[in-house]
Chain A
Amino acid sequence: MKKQSKPRLAFFDFTDCEGCQLQFANLGGTLLELLELVDIVNFREIISEAAEDYDIAFIEGSITTDNDVLRIKKIRDKAKVLVALGSCATIGGVNGIKNRSSLELAKKIVYGDKASTINTIKTMPVHEVVSVDYTINGCPVYLPEVVSVVKCLLMGKPYVVPNYPVCSECKMNENVCRYEKDQECMGTVTRAGCNSWCINNGNRCYGCRGLVDNPAADAQKDILSKYGLKLEDVLKHFTLYNDSMGEKYDQEFK
């Protein structure tokens, strides 16, 4: 009797550091358990083959060139399910910083006198170009959430991305708030799901998972100003990961 074939997973990277794929590779024992349920057919960091036949595509990285646009559309055509993996793919991430200046200026800063030979477009998260079925935020992605999303996709259920801020996880973990120590923190307006990973480890939240749907940008600006930040620094805090999501805070800041 023919064994029912397992869904085939393929990983593709665009403009990024490949850190989220590395996180996935770091799943360790869980990765082996997962391989009972799926076949990984294309994953540069862990296997040398690269099959062009797959069911589920994990997309890492943001879309930043005309070629990227063509390539992601091809992948979308082939894949039954498409997952945006990591903040570059889900919200543009740090690559979005490019969008703060004109393309010409950005090219000039990065490539100097070679600027004219470079093709580049504004940084876009994947969902601005093709439809995305599952979203895994984070820079890098948080492994327990990756596992939750994978379970959902294998069961064909939607994954509900939290729409409450990191603070609510942070308080459940009973952390001393960074503001208590006169440090600024973006957990107040940043989408939860990482179990307040950074704060648990003594750091603050940089907003890597993107803003919640309805961030209290004005109130957060007041808080940051109260803690001594100037308006341009406040803006930097908001845009470090989120410039491609600008419309969420534009009205207040720009």
Chain B
Amino acid sequence: MKYASLKKTNLNNWLEYLKKKAKFYAPRKKENLFVFRPVKDVADICLEYIPTILPPKKYYFPQKERLLRFRAQPFKTAKAIDKFEEFILFGVHTCDIAGIQCMDVVFRDGPEDPNYLNRKDMMTIIGIECLKYCDKYANCASMGNHIPRGGYDLMMVDIGDEFIIHINSEKGEKLVKEVDFIKEATESEMVTLGRIREEKNEIFKEEFYASLPKVYESFDKSFVSEVWKDLGKKCVGCGNCTAVCPTCYCFDVSDEMELNLNDGLRYRIWNSCQMDDFAKVAGGEDFRKGRESRQRHRYYRKFKYPVDKFNRYFCTGCGRCTRTCMAGISLIDTVNALTPVSID
């Protein structure tokens, strides 16, 4: 079975089933925004949501993660956690799945990151395809991430009274086969899916003026540009844009002792290029002074460096950085400012 069909009236039954299968995380409301949370009551789950404050990366790359246990006298070290629990991420947007694919590339690149990979092994991703824009900040169509491009176990599409579920892994197949109310999709349902995808093509349009290769080219020529000066003046350096980005993966490592001053834990904690001291080294030299060059670096880490290194853009188009910036710095406007429309 490649495509299955789930009647919406059976959705809650499926959710109850999934909830028992593994740790189960899904989007829910938090004040006027949304967050991924462990599901207690399936009625709390919100499938119509704009990208959550933090992307689901907090589950495979936690904000503060234990790495190592140690003892000072007599000296001894041991891995803090070598076993992770199975978990299901439910209702993940295609942009955030692209984020997971980016993290995969980074953490699999040698030396591999065992903590990430062990968690990733335990993860099942059930996505949901967006049929309309979450809001005006998204640039997923320019990045090509508004449509499913793999990286998930199951992908749901709302076709009215049913969800069509694309089965993309054995793990995923089990989760639809074990319940009797999910059936193989019928031909007419597949026709409806085709029609809905065509309608979607009319809604999603590339958000950047320029095509992606042209955007990439513009970064080649824009290292010195008024655009960065302007950003540097506006930016407060709060680090929100990097914390919320599904492809930002920088961290710091620190040791914390217990009160007996003999046992301790080593942690890694999110950190980012927007922090004032990020590129400071011993002796006080700062390799990336000023908010202007730090903002520039953030953009180059999305549209230039990873393309050269991994052949992959590290912007998923989720729009979170723009949504979260109290200074009103917009990714779409910034990229457009680098690629003025040429009349040709």
Contacts and interface: CB of A to CB of B under 8 A. Distances in A.
**Most-contacted residue by chain B among A33, A172, A179 (CB, 10 A):** A172
A214 B31 CA distance: 32
**Most-contacted residue by chain A among B233, B243, B272 (CB, 10 A):** B243
B33 A188 contact: no
A189 B277 CA distance: 14
Interface string A186-218: 011100000000000000000000001110101
Interface stretch (B99-107, B150-158, B304-312, B322-330): B322-330
Interface residues of B, number: 34
Interface in B285-343: 291, 324, 326-328
B185 interface: no
Given A187-B238, A188-B326, A148 B275 contact: no
A147 B236 contact: no
Given A171-B324, A172-B63, A181 B32 contact: yes
Contacts of B206: none
Interface string A59-90: 00000000000000000000000000000000
A58 B71 CA distance: 29
B239 A165 contact: yes
Contact of B244 (A154, A165, A171, A223): A171
B246 to A, nearest CB: 13
Nearest to B254: A160
Nearest to B31: A176
B234 interface: yes
Nearest to A150: B259
Interface string B225-241: 00000000111111110
B53 interface: yes
A34 interface: yes
B238 A167 contact: yes
Interface string B203-246: 00000000000000000000000000000011111111001100
Interface in A141-180: 147-148, 151, 154-155, 163-165, 167-168, 171-172, 174-177, 179-180
B125 interface: no
Contact of B259 (A34, A174, A176, A187): A34
B129 interface: no
A147 B243 CA distance: 27
Contact of B234 (A30, A33, A151, A222): A222
B30 interface: yes
B261 interface: yes
Given A155-B261, A174-B30, A223 B324 contact: no
B322 to A, nearest CB: 13
Interface residues of A, number: 37
Contacts of B277: 163-164
A46 interface: no
Contacts of A222: 234, 327
A164 B53 CA distance: 20
Contacts of A177: 240, 324, 326
B238 A151 contact: no
Contact of A181 (B31, B239, B291): B31
Contact of A151 (B63, B257, B275): B257
Interface in B257-287: 257, 259, 261, 270, 272, 275-277
Interface of A: 30, 33-34, 37, 147-148, 151, 154-155, 163-165, 167-168, 171-172, 174-177, 179-181, 185, 187-189, 212-214, 216, 218-220, 222-223, 226
Interface of B: 30-33, 35, 53-54, 58, 63-64, 233-240, 243-244, 256-257, 259, 261, 270, 272, 275-277, 291, 324, 326-328
Given A174-B54, A216-B235, 15 more contacts: A148-B256, A163-B275, A164-B277, A165-B239, A167-B238, A168-B239, A168-B240, A168-B270, A172-B63, A174-B53, A176-B32, A180-B32, A216-B237, A219-B234, A219-B236
